[in-house]
A and B are shown apart, each in its own frame.
Chain A
């Protein structure tokens, strides 16, 4: 039985690695899901059939409940995928925290010789990471879902970083004390206190973070959830768990690094910098006025263009405008216009958000181009259509040291011959920064909800409009 267990763990590990390997190309990616499901099934069944497992009804009950909640969660609209992802990080953290707590009290009660310093350290790390990921991810999910009682805007107060670090510091200090004295009489209380502090720390960590930083924060929480699983593997002495957790953790780490680079910021700056707090900076030079364009005029510009680059942002997701984008894409390509999409790594609220929304609208992925590849083409582009994107096209990022987005790589929309920008309101964007792209000499504004503006545009290409 032990051998079968080991072999199935090796098989599951190999399948998980293949699952991720196949994600290198959309053509093979679905195979990855099959590999992942197979690996998971093998691991679950071999664990379940161990002789020490006697309470089968409990397991069946929990699994059925998991299906009952999991299936609806997998059918959310794709615009809600960021909050679903945050919620799943929360569940991952919760599972790690609870299993850690259960194992600790089990050993404390039955066999406290098991609480070696090594195991105790792993337990403390598991519980801290697990519970902070749980509440942190719940807060992130709440912000993304725009739940009423969770403030959307960053919440900041004087001494915030000090308070946060103090809470974490006390938890870690108690953890160290437990590792040094695993059999102390106060052990149980200390352990509960560590869990509680970690829960509080998770909330405190996320409240000062604003929506524009969500792609990075979700990636970091992804890494934490993975590391919590690794710590659980150390506690349970399971190489399979350590491997799967390490795969998840390294994925979160790589995505975090990519997101941070795409915003020219460091981890510490994202977590402790409170982006939204930055003072609104006036655009350099005199305040210029924007020029408004009519839908008819915009349609004409698009029609006469040879190349159009569409730059989508969170505004497209909010307005659920991706299907209208597809209609515009069809109308233009039918007229021989080359249409491409410029995807900024942090556009939207999570890594890859725009790609998934556009894929949902049946836009072929060959038309989706990364920022680094599209920028050299921008000067030859006839029309850049900015669709609910803001900070990622703000030219101030190139030179204005006073703005919080200084140094962030941007899509060079301003270098296109003409810029059409669709914007919901006349107010500054999320970060509270004026965007001088909108007042550029070659920029024309279309004010309104992205979906409504696109519907009107598409109508121009239909009957009665341009032929």
Chain B
């Protein structure tokens, strides 16, 4: 049960940090913000790596590999398109 407590603690604090930081994001950048946070939340890839790579039954690893592919797609396309968009914002 201490597990649950500390996880909840982390969740609440991280949400507050998130709200504080996101509130200050430039309104110009909401589209790249969404692709960036999407790439970041694809950190779920660590979960899929463990499911895919450990010595589990085959069906489990197939589920993991599809999840790994989906997360990896988000990481690659998310970071790349964010950078591509941000490059375009010029002051003058």
Contacts and interface: CB of A to CB of B under 8 A. Distances in A.
A21 B21 contact: yes
A250 B22 contact: yes
A234 B7 contact: yes
Interface stretch (A146-154, A361-369, A444-452): A361-369
A232 interface: yes
A409 interface: no
Count chain B CB atoms within 10 A of each CB in A24, A39, A345 and give the residue with the most: A24
Given A55-B52, A225-B38, A365 B28 contact: yes
A23 B36 contact: yes
A253 B52 CA distance: 31
B37 to A, nearest CB: 4
Contact of A241 (B44, B81, B89): B44
Interface in A251-266: 251-255
Contacts of A52: 50, 53-55
A387 interface: no
A84 B44 contact: no
Interface of A: 12, 16-17, 19-21, 23-27, 29-30, 32-33, 36-37, 39-40, 43-44, 47-48, 50, 52-56, 58-59, 61-63, 65-67, 69-71, 73-76, 78, 81, 84-85, 88-89, 91-92, 94-96, 98-99, 101-103, 105-106, 109, 118, 218-219, 222, 225-226, 229-230, 232-234, 236-255, 343, 345, 350-353, 355-356, 359-360, 362, 364-366, 368, 370
Chain B binding surface, main DSSP class: helix
Contacts of A32: 36
Chain A binding surface, main DSSP class: helix
Interface in B43-92: 43-57, 59-61, 63-92
Nearest to B80: A74
A33 B83 contact: yes
A350 B38 contact: no
A19 B40 contact: yes
Given A19-B40, A53-B53, A356-B88, A246 B14 contact: yes
Contacts of B54: 52-55
Nearest to A253: B19
Nearest to B23: A254
Interface in B1-34: 1, 3-4, 6-7, 10-11, 14-15, 17-19, 21-34
